[in-house]
Structure 1
Amino acid sequence: MTFSIVARSADGTALGVAVASKFLGAGAAVPAALADVGAIATQSYANLAYRPQALTLLGTGVAATDTVRALIAGDAGPVAQRQVGVVGTHGPGATFTGDRCHAWAGGAAGDGYAIQGNMLAGPQVVADMATAWLACADQPRLPYRLVDALRAGDLAGGDRRGRQSAALLVVAKGMGYGGTSDVLADLRVDDHPDPVAELARLLELHTLYFERPDPATLIPLIGEVADEVRARLVTAGHAAADLDAALADWAGIENLEERIVPGAIDPLVLAQLRSNGSLSPR
């Protein structure tokens, strides 16, 4: 009923899951992840107990392949109808497909990833996801790499019953909002005619609002740039002697506070300021 990818970033700092299904709110049931531990997708008559069990095993140093074996061995339910994918902080990912999962069902795994799906249009769904994942090895941002792989599966036919939901969960130590969480991204499309495309759109918004700026792109708040920013802030009702304070005040209202760096301005923040439109009030 579902296709998913569980994977680790190339540098090993992030772990995550992307999933799509003709199932309401797949993101509420399929994925789980814990920073510096691992990630799991449980699907096809999903056993949600696999999620804490897998993360506990991975957290004690059990490899992904042995974790999957332990989950299956300890399951008193319909194992032949289960499907699961697991990845840890190192080594290959692991996937399992019971022999009574609805056709087409299967998976693929390699270093740092596991892909699985059931009730699919065909084996090309998993094959194209694996190809897309491996082709994007130079993409440092795990959320985008996961969604690219998910999109490839969707374009290959995905769930043969149709489309309904999609989700993305990515964790990395201290990389959540304000540095106070390990949840880098947690996006869900619960009921939509084109959920993977909608998930990709939400990821772009998430990048704007929650991703921290690239230091190499920051523009110093001096000279003409400072004059322009100050004038636009005054027009927007944020006049202050301290330009940094005025910009931070405006950014807080526009939900762009994660992109504020004293003494400089993120090009994306400048673009939003120039658009002079409130994006999404709190």
Structure 2
Amino acid sequence: MKRILIFLLIFTAMISSMFSEITNTKKIATFSVVAYDEETNELGVAVQSKFLAVGAVVPYAKANTGAIASQAWGNTKYGPEGLKFLEMGVSPKKVTEILTFKDKDSDQRQLGIVDGQGNSYTFTGKNCMKWAGGESGDSFAIQGNILAGEEVVEAMVEKFKNTENLPLGKRLIEVLKAGEHAGGDKRGRQSASLLVVAENGGYSGYNDRFIDLRVDDHETPIKELMRIYKLHEKTFQGSAYIRRGVKAMEKNKNKKANILFKRAMNIAQTYNDDPVLLNSIAWEFAQHDYNMDFALMSAKKASKLKPEDPNILDTLAFVYAKKGNYKKAVEIEKKAYRLSNNEIFKEKIEKWERRIK
């Protein structure tokens, strides 16, 4: 049955007019990196170009499936169709052959593909504007066109291989920076984007879009992308890592869970002067009963930075209650109640006081 479905998709792709329907006739001169993080199962694409809003055209990704960058004279159907084939177990190389077969303009296409196991492939059509080319390897595909030279791709590959310790999102931006420093797009720069997906990685865990950031028109798009990334990191990523870690623990994937928890802890330590972030980290750990010592340390630090914030005090009290120190929890919650007159806080006080007795 699976073979029949694959055949039907291939046949549809070959006869469809989709390959002749190009959404934009302007060539997307760009350099990109597509990659997979084996430790966290994240998949991502980062791209920079002398092209308006490149993030709306080049990157595609689906959690546990793969990631694709479609560029040069970009065909926006390559992304969705390619992900369908990857989901069915077709290799990145074979997916490329399917997508480019019968595409009369395939010699002007460029794409990089990585699947959910780290297999990769990069393709550059023979008529892509020079310099154009790419390199693929374990868990990455890097490519570009209208570049200053081959050294751009070489610098990006070297940076990718030497930044294994970084979270995937930050790693991909560093790879873009290396490409830019090596000459980048020889026409200049205009936009950049970062897309990273992970199962339940999106806002509140409702979808898989862990990071989706775009700089559509800027004099220094990669620098601006990193600025926005840091804001995203301290606003959303800590709690997302914890939720994903809990999900991993529920599936007995303890090694992965510990890696994800460690990522959250690193973020808290990086931004240890931000009471809102520290409070969020403490709350997420406490409500899931994980890393309670770190939760208490973070909550204490947050309340020290912002001692009159009733919500932060409520988190600190909650952590103490989770650790069984109801007397301390009541003492702190009473202060939170005095500052806010929040009836929910009053109910907690009454509940914890009963526990003391």
Shorter-chain TM-score: which interval?
0.7 to 0.9
> Scaled by the length of structure 1, what TM-score is found?
0.80
Aligned-pair CA distance for 1:175:
1.3
Question: What stretches of structure 1 of length at least 5 have no aligned partner?
Answer: 234-238, 248-260, 265-282
Q: Which has the higher strand share?
A: 1
Which of 306, 314, 333 matches 1:244? 314
State the AA in 1 paired with 2:128.
C
Matched, 1:151 2:177: yes
- The whole-number CA distance in structure 2 between the counterparts of 1:163 and 1:2 is 9
Aligned-pair CA distance for 1:172:
0.3
Aligned-pair CA distance for 1:97:
0.4
- The whole-number CA distance in structure 1 between the counterparts of 2:194 and 2:299 is 42
Matched, 1:190 2:190: no
Change (3 A) 1:65 1:229: same
Matched, 1:231 2:307: yes
Which of 229, 233, 239 matches 1:207? 233
Counterpart of 1:134 in structure 2 is: 161
Say if 1:63 and 1:91, in contact at 8 Å, map to a contact too.
no
> Scaled by the length of structure 2, what TM-score is found?
0.64
Aligned-pair CA distance for 1:126:
0.4
Aligned-pair CA distance for 1:177:
1.2
Counterpart of 2:197 in structure 1 is: 171
- The whole-number CA distance in structure 1 between the counterparts of 2:130 and 2:155 is 17
State the AA in 2 paired with 1:43.
Q
Q: Which has the higher helix share?
A: 2
Counterpart of 2:261 in structure 1 is: none
State the AA in 2 paired with 1:220.
L
Moved over 6 A (4+): 221-224
Matched, 1:3 2:31: yes
Counterpart of 1:268 in structure 2 is: none
Number of matched pairs? 242
Aligned-pair CA distance for 1:20:
0.1
Tell which has more relative contact order, 1 or 2 (C-alpha 8 A, sep 6+).
1
- The whole-number CA distance in structure 2 between the counterparts of 1:147 and 1:222 is 29
Question: What stretches of structure 2 of length at least 5 have no aligned partner?
Answer: 1-28, 239-263, 266-284, 286-290, 321-357
Aligned-pair CA distance for 1:10:
3.0
Counterpart of 1:42 in structure 2 is: 70
- The whole-number CA distance in structure 1 between the counterparts of 2:87 and 2:149 is 34
State the AA in 1 paired with 2:181.
L
Tell me the secondary structure at the aligned position of residue 211 of structure 1: helix
- The whole-number CA distance in structure 2 between the counterparts of 1:226 and 1:65 is 50
Tell me the secondary structure at the aligned position of residue 81 of structure 2: helix
The structure having more radius of gyration, on CA atoms, is 2
Matched, 1:95 2:122: yes
RMSD after superposition: 2.4
String of CA shifts for 1:129-174, please: whole Å, max 9, x gaps: 00000011232x1101111111100111110000100000000001
- The whole-number CA distance in structure 1 between the counterparts of 2:298 and 2:160 is 42
Matched, 1:67 2:95: yes
State the AA in 2 paired with 1:228.
K
Matched, 1:107 2:134: yes
Counterpart of 2:253 in structure 1 is: none
Q: Equivalent pairs: percent with the same residue?
A: 43
State the AA in 2 paired with 1:263.
V
State the AA in 2 paired with 1:218.
F
Say if 1:103 and 1:120, in contact at 8 Å, map to a contact too.
yes
Tell me the secondary structure at the aligned position of residue 135 of structure 2: strand
